Amino acid sequence: MHATELIAHNRVAWNRQARQQCEWSLPVGSDVIAAARAGRWQVHITPRPLPGDWLGDVRGRRILCLAAAGGQQAPVLAAAGAEVTVFDLSDEQLAQDRFVADRDGLQLVTVQGDMRDLSAFADASFDLIVHPISNLYVPDVRPVWRECRRVLSPCGALLASFYNPVVFVGDRDPAWLEQGVVKPRYALPYSDLADLDADALDAKRQNGEALVFGHSLTELIAGQTDAGLAITGFYEDAQPRPRFLLDRYMPTFLATRAVRQA
**Res 260: pLDDT:** 98
At 239 the pLDDT is 94
Helix 3-19 vs helix 91-104: angle between axes, to the nearest 10 degrees?
40
Burial 204-214 (b: 16+ CB within 10 A, else e): bbeeeebbbbb
Helix (H/G/I), strand (E/B), else coil: 109: strand
* 135 domain-assigned: yes
In a domain, 207, yes or no: no
Q: How far apart are CA 114 and CA 130, in angstroms?
A: 15
Is there a domain that residue 97 lies in? yes
Entry pTM? 0.96
Instruction: Walk along the chain (262 residues) in steps of 10 and give the mean pLDDT of each run.
Output: 86 91 90 98 96 96 97 98 98 97 98 98 98 97 98 98 96 89 96 95 92 98 98 97 92 98 84
pLDDT of residue 4: 85
pLDDT in tens, 242-260: 988 999 999 999 999 999 9
Query: What CATH number does residue 123 fall under?
Result: 3.40.50.150
What is the C-alpha separation between 195 and 146, in angstroms, rounded?
A: 27
Q: In which region does residue 83 sit, left (phi positive, over 0), alpha (psi from -120 to 50) or beta (all else)?
A: beta
* Any domain includes 19: yes
| No. of helices (H) and no. of strands (E), the chain | 11, 9
Domain hosting residue 38, numbered range: 3-164+214-260
Q: Where are the alpha helices (DSSP H) in the chain?
A: 3-19, 30-37, 52-55, 73-79, 91-104, 142-151, 174-179, 192-195, 198-206, 217, 223-226
Q: Can you give the pLDDT at residue 45?
A: 96
| pLDDT (0 to 100) of residue 21 | 81
Tell me whether residue 128 is exposed, middle or buried, using C-beta atoms within 10 angstroms of its C-beta: 0 to 12, 13 to 18, 19 or more.
buried
Task: Tell me, yes or no, whether 60 lies in a domain.
Answer: yes
Domain count, the chain: 1
pLDDT (tens digit per residue) in 54-90: 999 999 999 999 999 999 999 999 999 999 999 999 9
Answer whether residue 208 is part of any domain: no
DSSP string, 122-165: -TT-EEEEEE-S-GGGSS--HHHHHHHHHHEEEEEEEEEEEE-G
pLDDT of residue 137: 97
Q: Output the pLDDT for position 262.
A: 78
Q: Is 231 part of any domain?
A: yes
Does residue 197 belong to any structural domain of this protein? no
